[in-house]
Structure 1
Amino acid sequence: MSVQPWGESRPAHRHGHRPAVPGWQPVPSPQAAMRASHADRDRTVDVLKAGFAEGRLSAEEYEQRHEAVAEARTYGELAALVADLPAGPMVTPMLQAVQPVPATFLPPPPVPRVRPTNALAVVSVVCGLTGLSLPAVVTGHIARAQIRERTMNGDSAAVLGMVLGYLGCAFWMLMILAGAA
C-alpha cells in the first residue's frame, strides 16, 4: 500500500505508478492531467470490452488493460489504454477547445414577424374622431374583415372607429329627430 499526499491509500502497482501496458504513454492534452471519475473508468472498460469482443484485443491484453484502468487516475492514463481502439463515444473530454462557429456561417437570426397594422382601421378612428360618422363605420367594417383574412394588427382601432361612427350617427339622428319635432 502506498499513501498518497492527500491521504488516500491505494495498492502500489508492480511497475510503479504507471499501469503495466506495453508502450503505455499518457495522452498529451490540457485535460490529460484531470482526475478521472468512476464513470470515466466504466466507459473505458466498455471500450475495452467492445475491443475484446470484436477480436481487437487478446485475452491477455484485455486483462492487462482492465487492471490498468482500475489504477488509472487521470484522463491521459485512460485515453492511453484505448488509444489504439475505436472508442465510439468519447472516453475523454474533448482534447481540442471547441471554437464557436463564426457569425458569418451561422444562419441569420429569426426576424420577429411584425404584423402590419391595417390602414383602414386607422382611417376609421380618424374619421370617428373628426365627426365623419358614416365613413368611420364603413371603413371600420372593411378593416375588420381584412384583419381577419390577413392576420393584421389594428382590430381595436377598427372597433373604436366603428363605435365612434355609430355614436356619431346616433347623435345626428337624434338631432334630426329633435329638429323635426
Structure 2
Amino acid sequence: MSVQPWGEPGSGNPPGKWPAGDRQPAPAAASQAVMRAGHADRDRTIDVLKAAFAEGRLSAQEYEQRHEAVAASQTYGQLAALVADLPSGPMAVPPVAVQPIPATFLQPPPPAPRPVNVLAVTSLALGVFGFSLPAVITGHIARSQIRRRDMNGDWAAVAGLVVGYAGTALWTLMIMLGTVAAVAGAH
C-alpha cells in the first residue's frame, strides 16, 4: 500500500501526522478539528480537490484516493488533512502594469451646470404679481449679474423686464387718464 500524504487510519502514516507543509492546527483549531463535518463541508473539500486536479497539482490517482477519503471523513480535522498541502483559494497574482490612457482619448468631463440667477426669477415673479417698478429694477440688476458671473436665467430677467415695463406703462396710462379726468371735472 502506498504511503498517502495525510494521516488517516490505515494510511501508513502515524495518526496526527500532517501532510507536507507542516500546517498543523493551532490549539483553538485543534478543538475544532474533532468536530463532525457535514455534507456541505465535504462538498467544499471536494471543490478544493477538483481545482487542484484541474491545475495539475494532483494526479488522477491522487484525486481519486482523496475523493474517496473525503466521503469517508467524519471530522473537520480529517477533511483539513486531505487538503492541507493544497492552496484553498486563488493565488495572488502580481499586479500588471497598466498604461495610462492618453489624454487625447479621454472625454472631457461634462460642464458643471451654471447656477440660475435668483434676482432674475424674483423679477419675473414681481412682474407677474403686479409689482412693476421692483420687477424692472431687479430685472436690470439680474441681467448685469448674469453677464458678469456667467449664470443662467436671462430669460426670466427679460420676461420680468417686459412684464414690469408693461405694468409700469399701464399704471402710467391710468394715472395720466385719472389726472386728465380730474382736471376736466374741475372745470
What TM-score bracket applies, with the shorter chain setting the length? 0.3 to 0.5
Instruction: Give the number of the structure whose alpha-carbon radius of gyration is greater.
Output: 2
TM-score, with structure 2 as normaliser: 0.44
The structure where helix makes up a greater share of residues is 2
Q: Which has the higher contact order (CA 8 A, sep 6+)?
A: 1
